[in-house]
Structure 1
Amino acid sequence: MDDRIRAHAETLVDWSARVESGDDVVVRVAEGAHDLAVAVAAELGARGANLVATYGADEVTRAYLRAHDGDFAPADAERALYDRADVYLSLGGSRNTAATADVSGETQSAHARAREDVREARMATDWVSTVHPTRSLAQAAGMSYEAYRDFVYDAVLRDWEALAAEMAQLKDILDAGSEVRLVAEGTDLTMSIANRTAVNSAASVAYDSHNLPSGEVFTAPTATQGEVTFDVPITVRGRRVRDARLVFEDGEVVDHAAAEGEDALADLLATDDGARRLGELGVGMNRGITRATDNTLFDEKMGGTVHLALGRAYDACLPAGDTGNDSAVHVDLITRMDEGSRLVVDGETIQRNGTFRWEDGFDADG
């Protein structure tokens, strides 16, 4: 076994999930993540945790959804599993990133709505999602398998404490801010962040962070106005979406388009009322992620990008008693902050041309 797999597992169990002796841990294993699952199981056993492993194959999901009549009952048994769990670890790594592409958007939306209670129970645990490099993911990224493995481990095996200290600078700015404006090609968008708390997403539940790799600072915006173009392609429910454009009025999407996958975008927006509003504004700060790979877990953390999620807002960003935007979905759309871009907080430019004001090369005058 590649020593980096063991290092990945150790980082996941120790730094990210903070697993302790006696914890009940549910591990969802994608069909291509076997080696990482073995390494994670060894780490959990060494700490005296209790392991329940589940199989999470997209092809299994496809078969079930295509055969079902679409009238989904609540998944009470699965919810009970997460209600009893202390930790949930999702080990991604599919054999086919488009396995569910021929499942209708209506069916996938109905399935998501029926499982909303499961999602809530899962997110009430100390949950962390990560991914094991597979050949299908390498192919989706347009990379050789060997190069993709190096890419994944460069993103995952970071000095997370040092990155957390750097990202704290942006968290402090957003916590004190009231309005964010994004300006880039095809984008001029404003949103309120007043009374919100930004999350320093340093790949650990200790930071209210639930992805490995991570490397972003995110918050929950409201009152979104303007237009935004997303120039990083993504796969939504097994379907490719490229150059998506959204127009917001009074916080809600009133118009949308895409160069590719417009039907997938429309299906997403039709999931429920909350799917037409933003649940997240995130700023990518992981400079170990150097290119887009059609995997949101990595792409949204890429330094020099901003992502906006349609759907559910995270409780960690909200004031006590505020439920925020509610939805059965949370889907991130990503745009590069390249030449000519600005990220502005309360009239002050915090990032220009993808470079933060505390980084070398920041051009204060533009």
Structure 2
Amino acid sequence: MDDHTDGRASGRTDPTDPVRAHARTLVDWSARVERGDDVVVSVGAGAHDLAVAVCAELGERGANVVTTYSSGELDRAYLRAHDGDFDADPPHELALYENADVVLRLSGPLNTTAMADVPGNRQAARARAHRAAREARLDTRWVSTVHPTRALAQQAGMAFEAYREFVYSAILRDWEALAGEMAQLKEVLDDGSEVRLVTERDSGPDTDLTMSIEGRIAVNSAASVAYDSHNLPSGEVFTAPYDTEGEVFFDVPLTLQGRRVRDVWLAFEDGEVVDFSAGANEDLLEDVLDTDEGARRLGELGIGMNRGIDRFTDNVLFDEKMGDTVHLAVGRAYESNFPDGEEEKANDSAVHVDLITDVSTDSHLEVDGEVIQRNGRFRWEEGFEPV
């Protein structure tokens, strides 16, 4: 059986089918699709079964659908053949997103390292050239999700059947209940002025980083556009920090542009990265930070709260939502973190790259000098240690 037929969603109406349940959650809870909505469905190479189920759900709701195909191998072929001088804002792509109400991105890679030999600066150049289309897409009710494939299971170091169970345990949650729990953290961040993250490692550099959050709005990211949340699964609370000072070490590896990056260390002064290193593929990290002026500033501070995600899988969509983690993104900030009329304060960049640190041990998170999380446990959770 190949990845295109895993799950056999086509034609099923069984409510216990996790693929159809995934599609229903995506269409109803996450994207809030209504009759007459113009929907673009971007289908990854191994996400065929999920796409079939999603299109069935969209058809039942009377939406208007256009499908596109997404593949790392297609991108590789195009970018390696291109001379790197990209036309700015191709109008056909811009028109697609400007006329869409909803964009659903169904990831399902068959090769997670398909882009490994594409120069990072060429990928950054294309990202800069497609800025207007990206902004138009982000103005829709967009949601990104993932269909389990054998390539993703292999990347996670798991058997395929176990990986499928892992994916659906993260996606098929009681999202309303989780939203209520995460609202406690949102309230703390909304009322706060400064966040401090501290970790002390036996291996690797320590972290001591302070960030201003005053005047920002934290997002209760409960996997629905109704919560200004655009990932399924989700399960984090995030805000847009500024005036960052100090050093931070990210001990969770990630695959970026098809290459493994690990042990990233960043030093900040006056809100900007002034020094950096990585234990692997440091040149790729440098390409990201050199994308544009905004790439050396933070666009996001996110705190994972989805305890249905219980292990790292080298997939940022899951890893950054995991309980006991904090992630920081260099690059673009989300306008949802800013009050009405102040969206222009959002850090602007063609990139948004999340970097993750494990805070389950020897770590604490402070807001205005008060510890709100220690060793992965929040002050309202059982097991929290106040001192």
If the length of structure 1 is used for normalisation, what is the TM-score? 0.99
Distance 1:340 1:250 in 2: 27
Offset of residue 261 of structure 1? 1.5
Offset of residue 153 of structure 1? 0.1
Q: 1:26 aligns with which of 32, 40, 44?
A: 40
Q: 2:134 aligns with which of 106, 119, 122?
A: 119
Question: What SS does the corresponding residue of 1:80 show, helix, strand or coil?
Answer: helix
Question: What SS does the corresponding residue of 2:326 show, helix, strand or coil?
Answer: strand
CA contact (8 A) 1:18 1:205 kept: yes
**Paired positions, count:** 365
Question: What SS does the corresponding residue of 2:86 show, helix, strand or coil?
Answer: coil
Q: Cα deviations across residues 151-181 of structure 1 (Å, max 9, x unaligned)?
A: 0000000000000000000000000000000
Q: 1:343 aligns with which of 340, 365, 383?
A: 365
Amino acid at match of 2:166: F
Distance 1:143 1:261 in 2: 24
Give the share of equivalent positions with the same residue, in percent.
Answer: 70
Residue in structure 1 matched with residue 382 of structure 2 by the alignment: 360
Offset of residue 111 of structure 1? 0.5
Amino acid at match of 1:339: T
CA contact (8 A) 1:72 1:114 kept: yes
CA contact (8 A) 1:184 1:338 kept: no
CA contact (8 A) 1:13 1:19 kept: yes
Distance 2:64 2:363 in 1: 48
Q: Are residues 1:321 and 2:342 paired?
A: yes
Q: Are residues 1:50 and 2:64 paired?
A: yes
Question: What SS does the corresponding residue of 2:35 show, helix, strand or coil?
Answer: coil
Question: What SS does the corresponding residue of 1:42 show, helix, strand or coil?
Answer: helix
Question: What SS does the corresponding residue of 2:321 show, helix, strand or coil?
Answer: coil
Amino acid at match of 1:177: G
Question: What SS does the corresponding residue of 1:313 show, helix, strand or coil?
Answer: coil
What is the 5 A alignment of 1:48-87?
Answer: 48-73=62-87, 74-87=89-102
Q: Which runs of 4+ in 1 moved over 6 A?
A: none
Q: Are residues 1:223 and 2:243 paired?
A: yes
Offset of residue 238 of structure 1? 1.2
What is the 5 A alignment of 1:73-152?
Answer: 73=87, 74-152=89-167
Distance 2:29 2:343 in 1: 30
Offset of residue 223 of structure 1? 0.3
Q: Are residues 1:283 and 2:303 paired?
A: yes
Amino acid at match of 1:72: F
Offset of residue 107 of structure 1? 0.5
Offset of residue 226 of structure 1? 0.4
Distance 1:69 1:261 in 2: 23
Offset of residue 338 of structure 1? 2.2
Amino acid at match of 1:321: E
Q: Are residues 1:239 and 2:254 paired?
A: no
Amino acid at match of 2:237: V
Question: What SS does the corresponding residue of 2:342 show, helix, strand or coil?
Answer: coil
Which stretches in structure 1 are left out of the alignment for 5+ residues?
Answer: none
With 36-45 and 1-10 compared, the bigger mean Cα shift is at 1-10
Alignment root-mean-square deviation, CA = 0.7
Residue in structure 2 matched with residue 298 of structure 1 by the alignment: 318
Amino acid at match of 1:300: E
Distance 1:328 1:75 in 2: 16
Offset of residue 321 of structure 1? 2.7
Amino acid at match of 2:296: R
Offset of residue 263 of structure 1? 1.0
Question: What SS does the corresponding residue of 1:19 show, helix, strand or coil?
Answer: coil
- Could you say if the C-alpha distance between residues 346 and 131 of structure 1 is closer, same or farther in structure 2, counting changes exceeding 3 Å? same
Distance 2:257 2:133 in 1: 18
Question: What SS does the corresponding residue of 1:20 show, helix, strand or coil?
Answer: coil
Which stretches in structure 2 are left out of the alignment for 5+ residues?
Answer: 1-7, 10-16, 201-205
Q: Cα deviations across residues 31-54 of structure 1 (Å, max 9, x unaligned)?
A: 000000000000000000001000
With 316-325 and 134-143 compared, the bigger mean Cα shift is at 316-325
Offset of residue 302 of structure 1? 0.2
Residue in structure 1 matched with residue 3 of structure 2 by the alignment: none
Q: Are residues 1:6 and 2:28 paired?
A: no
Distance 2:296 2:55 in 1: 40
If the length of structure 2 is used for normalisation, what is the TM-score? 0.93
